[in-house]
């Protein structure tokens, strides 16, 4: 029996399990909450319920095969994960990839970001009790999924990047469909604001809740929109541009409040920026190869290689240690979700259980990413 602490007024703090099968944890994440009444005193995440040892599996696979495993980490940012590994391999091999592939990759990345954020928006509304928003969010998410399906052949786990470029050329309809989507989405995104952003109930539940200071964001390594909402400028696309991000005109979204509402706003604004990026690229995809020639059997030179990209959740780092063989000696992913989760305790302390749900939604946790 665990010892219970009874305070002088006769009340006692108690422990409650949130998850692993709790709908608002969006996956099998178990949080052990220490509560005083409804006030949260401590949040302790317990991981391991969906651990698939992806890093270990990478060690047995060759460099072409690794990429398809990364789809399954943060499945809502599958293209960015693929992109990160491909870039790491390309940098190590020192191959120059064709411009066409670079353009396609960035367009795909930004489409993924929009699709991830639309889904997040819908789910966030649902977590806070607004069921309709889920349907609206999913509608736009599905539109992009269809575009992916047409060009890449799969809806979620695309495995579209290969070392040296992309797997197939874009589908003949791709440009038209993306343009249709952008035109459509520009009329749909203001709806998001009408439905949630201005809603009083929503504002009451998000403003001033779960504040993360800039110092905490930096010390916990909270990246992505969650970190930028606290004023921590960390956009990898700006800081260490990869692909063709250095030639593009877009803003890094920064807020300073660090509360749940800022994190929400940061993501909504990011969608507008992504639209801007896609509009700059979609008409100018250069002609040419979509894949650089690489050897059939890829062997990386001895050494360590690191590449980071900005996924929909934050900074994803790929670290490859190579001993010159066909498969990596060690592979490590620095996943954004894991670091973002670590700040949850700091943000939720002193709040109510209902606030915890709101905070978790704006952290946008994808559990397979936390628990590779």
Partner 1 sequence: MSAIGNYFRSIFSGLKTLFQGMAVTGYYFRNARKEIITQQYPDNKDTLRMYDRFRGIVVMPHDENNLHACTGCSACEIACPNGSIEIIAPRVVDPETGKKKKVINQHIYHYSMCTLCNLCILSCPTEAIVMDQTFEHAVYDRSLLTQILNKPGSSLNPNVKE
Q: Which parts of this chain interact with partner 1 (CB under 8 A)?
A: 61, 64-65, 68-69, 132, 139, 142, 149-154, 157, 159, 167-168, 171, 191, 194-195, 198-201
Closer residue to partner 1, CB minimum distance, 191 or 215: 191
Closer residue to partner 1, CB minimum distance, 38 or 191: 191
Closer residue to partner 1, CB minimum distance, 158 or 318: 158
Closer residue to partner 1, CB minimum distance, 289 or 345: 289
Q: Shortest Cβ distance from residue 151 to partner 1 (Å)? A: 7
Maximum CA pair distance of the chain?
Answer: 76
Count the alpha carbons within 13 Å of 67 in the hemisphere toward its beta carbon.
24
Distance (Å, whole) CA 130 – CA 124? 8
Q: Shortest Cβ distance from residue 154 to partner 1 (Å)? A: 5
Q: Shortest Cβ distance from residue 363 to partner 1 (Å)? A: 25
Q: Shortest Cβ distance from residue 136 to partner 1 (Å)? A: 8
Distance (Å, whole) CA 348 – CA 353? 8
Distance (Å, whole) CA 275 – CA 251? 12
Closer residue to partner 1, CB minimum distance, 139 or 251: 139
Q: Which contacts qualify for 145-150: CB closer than 8 Å, 24 or more apart?
A: 145/115, 146/177, 147/111, 147/174, 147/177, 147/178, 147/181, 148/108, 148/111, 148/115, 150/174, 150/177
CB atoms < 10 A from the CB of 52, how many? 13
Q: Shortest Cβ distance from residue 181 to partner 1 (Å)? A: 13
Q: Shortest Cβ distance from residue 159 to partner 1 (Å)? A: 5
Closer residue to partner 1, CB minimum distance, 8 or 172: 172
C-alpha separations of 338 from 44, 59, 154, 223, 317 in Å? 13, 21, 27, 10, 12
């Amino acid at each position: 029996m665990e010892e219970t602490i009874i305070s002088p007024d006769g009340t006692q703090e108690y422990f409650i399990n949130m998850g692993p099968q709790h709908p608002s944890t969006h996956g099998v994440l178990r949080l052990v909450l220490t509560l005083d009444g409804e006030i949260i005193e401590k949040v302790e995440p317990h991981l391991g319920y969906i651990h698939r040892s992806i890093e270990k599996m990478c060690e047995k696979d060759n460099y072409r095969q690794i990429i398809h495993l990364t789809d399954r980490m943060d499945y809502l940012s599958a293209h960015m994960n693929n992109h990160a590994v491909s870039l790491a391999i390309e940098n190590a091999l020192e191959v120059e990839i064709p411009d066409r592939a670079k353009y396609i990759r960035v367009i795909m990345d930004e489409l993924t970001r929009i699709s991830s954020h639309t889904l997040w928006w819908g789910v966030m509304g649902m977590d806070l009790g607004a069921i309709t928003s889920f349907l609206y969010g999913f509608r736009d998410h599905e539109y992009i999924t269809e575009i992916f399906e047409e060009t890449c052949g799969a809806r979620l786990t695309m495995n579209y990047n290969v070392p040296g470029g992309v797997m197939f050329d874009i589908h003949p309809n791709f440009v038209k469909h993306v343009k249709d989507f952008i035109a459509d989405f520009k009329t749909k995104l203001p709806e998001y604001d009408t439905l949630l952003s201005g809603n009083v109930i929503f504002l009451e539940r998000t403003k001033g809740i779960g504040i993360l200071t800039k110092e905490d964001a930096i010390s916990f390594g909270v990246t992505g929109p969650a970190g930028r909402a606290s004023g921590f400028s960390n956009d990898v696309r700006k800081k260490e541009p990869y692909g063709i991000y250095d030639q593009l005109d877009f803003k890094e979204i920064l807020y300073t409040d660090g509360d749940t509402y800022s994190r929400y706003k940061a993501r909504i604004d990011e969608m507008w920026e992504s639209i801007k990026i896609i509009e700059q690229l979609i008409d100018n995809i250069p002609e040419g190869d979509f894949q650089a020639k690489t050897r059939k059997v890829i062997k990386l030179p001895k050494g360590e290689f690191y590449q980071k990209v900005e996924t929909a959740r934050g900074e994803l780092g790929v670290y490859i240690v190579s001993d010159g063989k066909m498969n990596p000696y060690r592979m490590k992913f620095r996943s954004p979700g894991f670091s973002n989760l670590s700040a949850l305790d700091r943000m939720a302390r002193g709040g109510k259980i209902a606030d915890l749900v709101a905070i978790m939604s704006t952290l946008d946790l994808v559990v397979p990413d936390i628990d590779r």
